């Protein structure tokens, strides 16, 4: 039996889980108040604080760090790399320490896992970080040579549910063609072809359908006019399209539950906007089906919005039923996805990847 410690840092919390093989035997969210985090200017400055909180929790729960076969952290903002399970190395630590690709709480995942693994005498890993990039050369072309389409999406959850869906239809992930739709605060729609996400919208930068709080792809000329109107700062515009867009912009809330409640109360505007979000998601699913030449084994709906069978799931099925069977896996169990990625390595089902080798190889490929 393999015992795996999972560390998933968020902006104001650190999720901890302990797995014995596939079974989660302990789960806890360590909350960090604004006052506790206030002294730290940069996210990496929180490292010792979060490490102490993790060790204290493990001790109180009766675990020693030496009990674990492996430790896995949430992957942060790294250079683009293919999907898979990566052994944490010094190159990765250096880039995350100095936030060379951007600052985010998830950057702490690999660093915390590495330090604790050293103390435990075992290895540290990350699995399918948001920077996973397996796009084809065709998909990377934007329409202008000064712009390159980037792959930033919910890779961890997408890859995990894609493996689950492939198993359900009697195939290995590397044999299946799937469209995976993660629907949360951000929405990403990926074309999974034989184990690789060959095309996907950039969910971080606003590409794709609008979401509970993001505007998605907007009419380009209108956006340019707004930017050069002289009325608004860059920061104001960025906040409008990522944070104050989508449901927030139209309805004043990012809560899908609140919108569903309004629809139940016959709010026609709420229904129109919410249905429009489903309509846009469906159109992007259709785009991915076209990119796959219609060879789609299944469409997978996941993320928080997939819990809404009454409206969102129902409407989506009405639009996309003709493409392929629809499988629904609500939520996004990141801790289990991380544990399963490491478990595949521990069992010898796949080899761990080396970060600097894969990042350098990607750089060579995309610079051709």
Q: Is the same domain home to 111 and 166?
A: no
Contact 280, 216 (CB under 8 A): yes
Q: Is the same domain home to 313 and 246?
A: yes
Contact 164, 196 (CB under 8 A): no
Q: Is the same domain home to 179 and 321?
A: yes
pLDDT digits (tens, 9 = 90+) for 310-320: 999 999 999 99
What is the CATH number for 42? 3.30.420.40
In a domain, 145, yes or no: no
> What pLDDT does residue 367 have?
62
Q: Is the same domain home to 170 and 314?
A: yes
**CA 321/CA 189 separation, integer angstroms:** 16
Residue 364 above 80 pLDDT? no
pLDDT bracket for residue 365 (50, 70, 90):
low
Residue 264 neighbours by CB under 8 Å, 6+ apart: none
pLDDT digits (tens, 9 = 90+) for 260-305: 999 999 999 999 999 999 999 999 999 999 999 999 999 999 999 9
Contact 85, 342 (CB under 8 A): yes
In a domain, 149, yes or no: no
DSSP alpha helices (H): ranges in the chain?
Answer: 34-37, 47-60, 90-97, 107-120, 137-140, 155-168, 220-227, 234-241, 246-251, 256-264, 268-291, 314-320, 334-346, 355-366
Domains contained in the chain, number: 2
> What pLDDT does residue 71 have?
97
Domain with 289 in it: 157-332
In a domain, 60, yes or no: yes
In a domain, 143, yes or no: no
pLDDT bracket for residue 249 (50, 70, 90):
very high
Contact 339, 17 (CB under 8 A): yes
* CA-derived radius of gyration, the chain: 21
pLDDT digits (tens, 9 = 90+) for 110-156: 999 999 999 889 999 999 998 899 999 999 999 999 998 888 899 99
- Give the pair of three-digit tokens for residue 12: 């104001």
Contact 329, 303 (CB under 8 A): no
Q: Is the same domain home to 304 and 345?
A: no
In a domain, 108, yes or no: yes
> What pLDDT does residue 366 have?
61
In a domain, 259, yes or no: yes
In a domain, 264, yes or no: yes
pLDDT digits (tens, 9 = 90+) for 189-209: 999 999 999 999 998 877 999
Q: Is the same domain home to 237 and 263?
A: yes
Q: Is the same domain home to 168 and 87?
A: no
Across the chain, mean pLDDT equals 93
Q: Is the same domain home to 276 and 200?
A: yes
């Amino acid at each position: 039996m393999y015992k795996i410690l999972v560390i998933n840092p968020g902006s104001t919390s650190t999720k901890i889980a302990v797995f014995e093989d596939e079974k989660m035997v302990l789960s806890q969210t360590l909350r960090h108040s604004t006052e506790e985090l206030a002294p730290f200017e940069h996210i990496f400055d929180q490292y010792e604080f979060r490490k102490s909180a993790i060790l204290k929790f493990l001790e109180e729960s009766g675990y020693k760090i030496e009990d674990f076969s492996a430790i896995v952290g949430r992957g942060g903002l790294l250079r683009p790399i293919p999907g898979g399970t990566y052994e944490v190395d010094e190159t990765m630590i250096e880039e995350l320490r100095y936030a060379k690709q951007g600052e985010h709480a998830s950057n702490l995942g690999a660093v915390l896992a590495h330090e604790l693994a050293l103390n435990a005498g075992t290895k540290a890993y990350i699995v399918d970080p948001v920077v996973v990039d397996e796009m084809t050369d065709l998909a990377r072309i934007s329409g202008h040579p000064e712009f390159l389409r980037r792959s930033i999406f919910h890779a961890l959850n997408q890859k995990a549910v894609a493996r689950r869906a492939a198993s359900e239809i009697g195939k290995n992930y590397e044999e299946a063609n799937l469209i995976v739709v993660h629907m949360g605060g951000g929405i990403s729609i990926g074309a999974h072809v034989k184990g690789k996400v060959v095309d996907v919208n950039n969910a971080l930068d606003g590409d794709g359908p609008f979401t509970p709080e993001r505007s998605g792809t907007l009419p380009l000329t209108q956006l340019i006019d707004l930017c050069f109107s002289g009325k608004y700062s860059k920061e104001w515009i960025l906040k409008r399209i990522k944070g104050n867009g989508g449901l927030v912009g139209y309805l004043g809330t990012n809560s899908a539950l609140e919108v569903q409640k309004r629809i139940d109360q016959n709010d026609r505007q709420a229904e129109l906007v919410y249905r429009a979000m489903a309509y846009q998601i469906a159109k992007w699913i259709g785009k991915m089906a076209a990119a796959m030449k219609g060879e789609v084994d299944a469409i997978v709906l996941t993320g928080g919005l997939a819990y809404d069978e009454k409206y969102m799931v129902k409407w989506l099925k009405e639009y996309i039923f003709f493409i392929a069977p629809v499988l629904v896996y609500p939520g996004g169990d990141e801790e289990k996805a991380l544990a399963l990625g490491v478990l595949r390595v521990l069992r010898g089902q796949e080899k761990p990847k080396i970060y600097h080798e894969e990042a350098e190889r990607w750089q060579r490929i995309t610079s051709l």
